[in-house]
Amino acid sequence: MDVRQRKLAKSFRLRLGGFAALTLAAASPAVAETLDSALARAYGANPALNASRAGLRATDENVAQAKAGYRPTVSLDADIGLTQSQGRVSGISLNQVTKPGGAGLTINQTLFNGFQTDNQTRRAESDVLGTRESLRSTEMTTLFNAAQIYMSVLSDTATLELRRNNVEVLEEQLRQTRDRFNVGEVTRTDVAQAEARLAGARSDVSGAEANLRASIGTYRRIIGVEPRQLAPGRPLDRFVPPNLDSAISIGLKEHPQILSSMHAVDVAEAQVKIFEGALAPSAALQGSVQQRYDTQFPGDNGVTASIVGRISVPLYEGGQTYSQIRQAKELVGQARINVEDIRDQVRSAIVTAWGRLEAAKAQVIASQAQVQANEVALNGVREEARVGQRTTLDVLNAQQELLNSRVNLILAQRDRVVNSYGVVQTVGRLTVRFTSIPVVAYSPKEHFDQVKDLWYGVRTPDGR
């Protein structure tokens, strides 16, 4: 084998046993971005996740609004005016100017309203719990998307390097073929085949560059920063259930979509009770104090104080409330059916994710064997071509087979990592609390406790 052939063979000795060398720049382990740190960035900075947190904080206020029904309402009113009277009364001319005015304080307190306030509070609290589960679902989706794009950037980078290396190899192959053509060892057809394969390889490089740029853009959107010096990603196998049955059992108990739909049933049932309470008697107490300055003579004034209890018994309201009750009961039935539908969806998602993970594991093993076999085959084809037993096209095909198998290995390794995260997500455990991602976990209960019993104030706990 001459010097050029040895150089060509050396270029194809790249082995990809994992993602250890797949970085965007030469990085030392101390400064490289890891998959866990990328997930932590996404957890803190992802706009969709932060928007869901803001939505939950807004939902927390529904509890404070419902509890307002237990508390009195207080109003203060005042008025002032000017009155002029002219005329004759019993033969006496009258021209009088008075300045009527006054102020009053009124307090209303509901004593009983058919337990509507109780049920409104229960509905608001169930709504908060359901929204918390929706937030957890958004968190899992965000972390999965972050893991997926992290591995996509790695795999696209490795694929691009492979295709660039392939262009270098084909350029060397073309030079050798032209040299052999010049001495009459091969025909012009062999040169054209090498030129065509090189043109295709350069086109593949352009496509790989476009894919990498797209992945980098998505990485910036999901994680919040440009990808720099990415460290290898590892599967999340330690959190994957031991078997499919265990995964299904965990998912049906813990998945946030199921729990959120169950809280939606509680919300619907509370709404039925609220409408039923509208048919019950209601009782309220009102107290008022009024100071008036309406008399004709200066210095005169009057003070009036009262306390009044009222009972109201609804007899008939045209049938509207009855219709609302029937409608709310149907919505309860719909919510219960929806729970079963979501359970089936979760079960299906777990089975699908489990199958993808098992397939990815098998594909990694098969792709590794394929790479090794293609390396041996390429070396053999080159040796046979050197002694005239193989054509240039045979060598080009063998090189392409090896390149394809290496690209497939990269994709299989990426899928192996991503699908492990997919299984953990579908069982409902891809959260920072369960997977111990190094970041301070957001506590939805903290804001809830701050606002649920507030009697007054317009500033939010975070200062807005």
Q: Comparing 16-25, 104-113, 304-313, 425-434, which segment has the lowest mean pLDDT?
A: 16-25
Is the Cα dihedral 181, 184, 188, 190 positive or negative? Answer: negative
Which CATH number fits the domain 72-84+95-112+281-313, given the four candidates 1.20.140, 2.115.10, 2.20.200, 1.10.1060?
2.20.200
CA 294 distance to own-chain centroid: 64
> How confident is residue 395, by pLDDT bands cut at 50, 70 and 90?
confident
> How confident is residue 25, by pLDDT bands cut at 50, 70 and 90?
very low
Interval 352-359 mean pLDDT: 97
Average of per-residue pLDDT values in the chain: 88
> How confident is residue 385, by pLDDT bands cut at 50, 70 and 90?
confident
The Cα–Cα gap between 350 and 333 comes to: 26
Six-digit token pair at 56? 């939950």
The Cα–Cα gap between 121 and 70 comes to: 10
* pTM, full prediction: 0.86
User: Rounded to the nearest 5°, which phi and psi values hold at 107?
Assistant: -125, 125
**Residues 420-455: pLDDT tens digits?**
999 999 999 999 999 989 999 999 999 999 999 999
Six-digit token pair at 53? 């947190």
* Region(s) of the chain under CATH 1.20.1600.10: 3-71+115-279+319-451
The one-letter code for the residue type at 415 is D
**Residues 178-191: pLDDT tens digits?**
988 898 888 899 89
The answer on pLDDT for 17 being more than 60 is no
Place of tokens 């008025």: 79
Superfamily name with CATH number, domain 3-71+115-279+319-451: Outer membrane efflux proteins (OEP) (1.20.1600.10)
Q: What is the predicted pLDDT for the residue at 18?
A: 38
> How confident is residue 299, by pLDDT bands cut at 50, 70 and 90?
low
Q: What is the predicted pLDDT for the residue at 14?
A: 38
The Cα–Cα gap between 418 and 249 comes to: 22
The Cα–Cα gap between 42 and 34 comes to: 12
Give 175 or 294, the one with higher predicted confidence.
175
Six-digit token pair at 221? 């959107």
Give 340 or 26, the one with higher predicted confidence.
340
* Region(s) of the chain under CATH 2.20.200: 72-84+95-112+281-313
Helix (H, G, I), strand (E, B) or coil at 93: strand
Interval 125-147 mean pLDDT: 97
Give 238 or 460, the one with higher predicted confidence.
238
Q: What is the predicted pLDDT for the residue at 96?
A: 73
Q: What is the predicted pLDDT for the residue at 296?
A: 58
The answer on pLDDT for 23 being more than 70 is no
**Residues 356-383: pLDDT tens digits?**
999 999 999 999 999 999 999 989 988 8
The answer on pLDDT for 84 being more than 90 is no
